[in-house]
Amino acid sequence: MRIFFGWLILGILGFTLVTACNHHTSQTISSSPKLPATECHIIKHTMGETCVPINPQRVVTLSSSTLGNALALGIKPIGTTNEIHQENKSLTSVKDKTEEIKLIGLSQPNLEAALLLKPDLIIGVDWFQSIYPQLSKIAPTVLGELNYPTWEKHLSFVAEALGKQATEKALWNRYYQRMEELKLALGNRYQDKKISFIYIWNDQISTDAKNSFVGSILSDALLQRPASQNIDAPYGAVEISLEELEKADGDILFVATYARDGGNQFFEKIQRNLLWKNLKAVQENHVYFVDFTAWAATHMLGTDAVIDDLYKYLVNTP
């Protein structure tokens, strides 16, 4: 069975992108107007080449990663999908940035809702190839690759589509500045410590590999991982059974639960298990609970949230 978490970021897959409703909607969507070459620039993407507005004003994003990157680049979309949206929570892990952004779907967009927004640009990921013809009739649409272990490439793709390459460079400069400050604050306190990170959803547990979103941040901070997580893995995660819980252990254990699929209830069961109680991090009271939507972000806004947590629990916690 493939790793859940890796492609929870791929839209909590298991959805069918082309539904009968979408098929019906596509029949009523007229083709988006073509822009003069002087008002657009060519973007290469998974579906070919598209001329997109030089200064788009009404952007729709498809995926939480695309949304977060657009916001980080200073563009507030008018609408978005968000596959990790949770009821009564902000659309992203970063608060106060998503007001007035219309949620047009979770794993897949509602095409009628997208059409009503009258976007001048749709930016998304290549999970939506099967409905690209319908999307491109609503507005110029570009779909970029989002491979969980190489999440940085999607930021560059969104920046190119929005003409925000200079802003992207500034974002990376700020990220590396924060990382240097974090390493200085950490000192050598954790040079011999192993930092573990697990996701819990429904009745499954996944450990985060080093070639993941969080794995890349921990690596940049020069923090060490347990041997079972110090590997590259498909989708950046490794699913483990309850009997393999020792693979989740470390000197420090970060835990994120996905409440929408029963993660909290399953975690309560795990905590009653003797294998959990025998973990070193548990016995030494070094288990820290972090926000799933932040640590699963795969976008630049999420890096700030993860770094903030590393300060909170590794620098400021005795």
CA-based R_g, the chain, Å: 20
Rounded distance between C-alpha atoms, residue 308 and residue 318, angstroms: 16
Give start and end residues of each alpha helix (H) in the chain. 20-26, 64-72, 111-116, 132-138, 152-162, 165-186, 213-220, 263-271, 274-277, 280-283, 292-295, 300-310
Q: Which amino acid is at 285?
A: N
Tell me the C-alpha distance between 232 and 208, whole Å: 10
Does 261 have pLDDT greater than 90? no
Q: What is the pLDDT of residue 68?
A: 93
Of 54, 39, 32, 48, nearest to 114 (Cα)? 32
Is 291 a residue whose pLDDT tops 80?
Answer: yes
Query: Each residue of 133-165: pLDDT tens digit?
Result: 999 999 999 999 877 667 899 999 999 999 999
Q: What is the pTM of this model?
A: 0.84
Determine the Cα–Cα distance for residues 189 and 315; give it in Å rounded to an integer.
9
H/E stretch holding 234: none
- pLDDT of amino acid 7: 41
Class of domain 5-170: alpha beta
pLDDT at position 42: 95
Each residue's pLDDT tens digit, 28-82: 444 555 665 568 999 999 999 999 999 999 999 999 999 999 999 999 999 999 8
What's the Cα-to-Cα distance from 278 to each of 208, 270, 271, rounded to whole Å?
A: 21, 12, 10
- Residue range 165-211, pLDDT digits in tens: 999 999 999 999 999 999 999 999 999 999 999 988 778 899 999 89
Domains 5-170 and 174-315 are alike in CATH topology? yes
**Among candidate residues 151, 152, 252, the one with its CA nearest the CA of residue 198:** 252
Q: Spell out the domain ranges in the chain.
A: 5-170, 174-315
Calculate the alpha carbon distances from 282 to 249, 270, 275, 313 in Å.
Answer: 9, 12, 10, 15
Name residues whose C-beta falls within 8 Å of residue 279's C-beta, 6 or more positions apart in sequence: 245, 246, 248, 249, 253
C-alpha 216, offset from chain centre: 13
CATH code of the region 174-315: 3.40.50.1980
Query: Would you report the helix, strand and coil content of the chain in percent, each value rounded to 5?
Result: 40, 20, 40
With beta carbons less than 8 A apart as the criterion, state whether 51 and 280 touch: no
Query: What's the rounded Cα separation, in Å, for the pair 101 and 244?
Result: 42
253 sits in which H/E element? strand 252-258
At residue 51, the 3 state secondary structure works out as strand
Q: Are the CB atoms for 225 and 210 separated by under 8 Å?
A: yes
Residue with tokens 């977060």: 68
pLDDT tens track for 218-236: 999 999 999 999 999 888 8
Q: Are 61 and 124 in contact (CB under 8 A)?
A: yes
